[in-house]
Chains A and B, each alone.
Chain A
């Protein structure tokens, strides 16, 4: 079936500006994460380059872009944090900082809502439920 409107519509990732938008967002987002007392302890002592790369992966996924995230990788990647007490309140904090970062970059509320929905969809995997 050929659908003109579908063909012409840009993906969320394209509307957000693709990989340059991820680059622009990652520093703003990661700075917020590092100074937020609710969640910063989960990031203590980690190598910054590795962390930035991971945050880029996360943002690319939340922006609807090409990514290698799977439910399993989300679970495996966060299991050690769940053992340290990672819970819903921490996921809430991350989602809040993500939205705040996008607002800072001038992203419109409807697009922020779409990003938030994708990020939200990983909650149960992140928390190992």
Chain B
């Protein structure tokens, strides 16, 4: 089996093991999260070496060309000498605002110390001083002078627990990325847009909706946000105000359980959407949040006539620890 050399130590891959598995087994503290080749937390560097194509899936071309790859998706055919990402791949950022938006969703605003180009709806890898890293979607607009993430408190979550309970303004963190294809693309200003998500899937959708409006989108923009109950909804006032200011933007909050005379529609998210729009041919869709719901929604949108290439899905994979 191939050997992986890291920090001067050689580790032999066991059958079926990824580079990440092998290095973790050898007690190297490689930062990682989804273990599914998506979140890019486990980015490693092996310049000038033969990296399997699959291990570079979803990386920016510039990163591919420099020999970066995802350790969790890397099953190399030969030996590799690998190292952590270079320091210049990360931008330092200061926490500028921590604000609870609901019982368990925290707004985290960051000010980067250098240029950080991105599109609203893409995701970044947030890296703590000790190397702990997790991915979060960007709810802010590139024109705003801060980056905004929505962080749900995950039970036992290392990063979310720290952000909710330990982090304070002015602390320094690092950002890698951005990555992801879930963002507004100008060029079809009249096309109706359907944005749907649950939980903090709202973060990218909030960014995408505002980006589309700012870029002069004239077609209808419908944003459906689903939650278990009223306590799971957030940014309700902001989204209603956005709708009041923009005739083509509609916001529909839905909850599965009604806790009283809330303003949200009671029922399933897909029902709220498909009862209004049973035929979705010609629409573009953005679906973000819980993976099971994302996959179910995108299949339903597809079966309702939305073209497969018009569906942008961003399933939030949990940290595999």
Q: A52 touching B308 by the CB < 8 A rule?
A: yes
Query: Given A27-B308, A30-B308, are A48 and B303 neighbors across the interface (CB < 8 Å)?
Result: no
Which A residues are closer than 8 A to B by beta carbons?
23, 26-27, 30-31, 34-35, 47-49, 52
Closest Cβ–Cβ distance, residue B36 to chain A (whole Å): 11
CB-based closest 6 A-B pairs: A52-B308, A27-B308, A27-B307, A48-B298, A31-B303, A48-B299
Q: How far is the CA of A26 from the CA of B313 in the complex (A)?
A: 19
Q: List 20 A-B contacts (CB under 8 A).
A: A23-B309, A27-B302, A27-B307, A27-B308, A30-B302, A31-B302, A31-B303, A34-B302, A34-B303, A35-B303, A47-B295, A48-B295, A48-B298, A48-B299, A48-B302, A48-B308, A48-B311, A48-B313, A49-B313, A52-B308
Which B-chain residue is minimally distant from A46 (CB atoms)?
A: B295
**Secondary structure type dominating chain A contacts:** helix
Within the complex, what minimum Cβ distance (angstroms) separates A68 from chain B? Answer: 14
Chain B residues with CB under 8 A of A52: 308
A-facing mask of B309-320, CB < 8 A → 1, else 0? 101010000000
Q: Which residues of A contact B303 (CB under 8 A)?
A: 31, 34-35
Chain B nearest CB from A85 CB (Å) reads 23
CA distance A47 to B308 in the complex (A): 12
Distance between Cα atoms of A35 and B304 in the complex (Å):
11
With both chains docked as a complex, state the minimum distance between the C-beta of A69 and any C-beta of chain B, in angstroms.
19
Given contacts A48-B299, A48-B308, 19 further A-B contacts (CB under 8 A): A23-B309, A26-B308, A27-B302, A27-B307, A27-B308, A30-B302, A30-B308, A31-B302, A31-B303, A34-B299, A34-B302, A34-B303, A35-B303, A47-B295, A48-B298, A48-B302, A48-B313, A49-B313, A52-B308
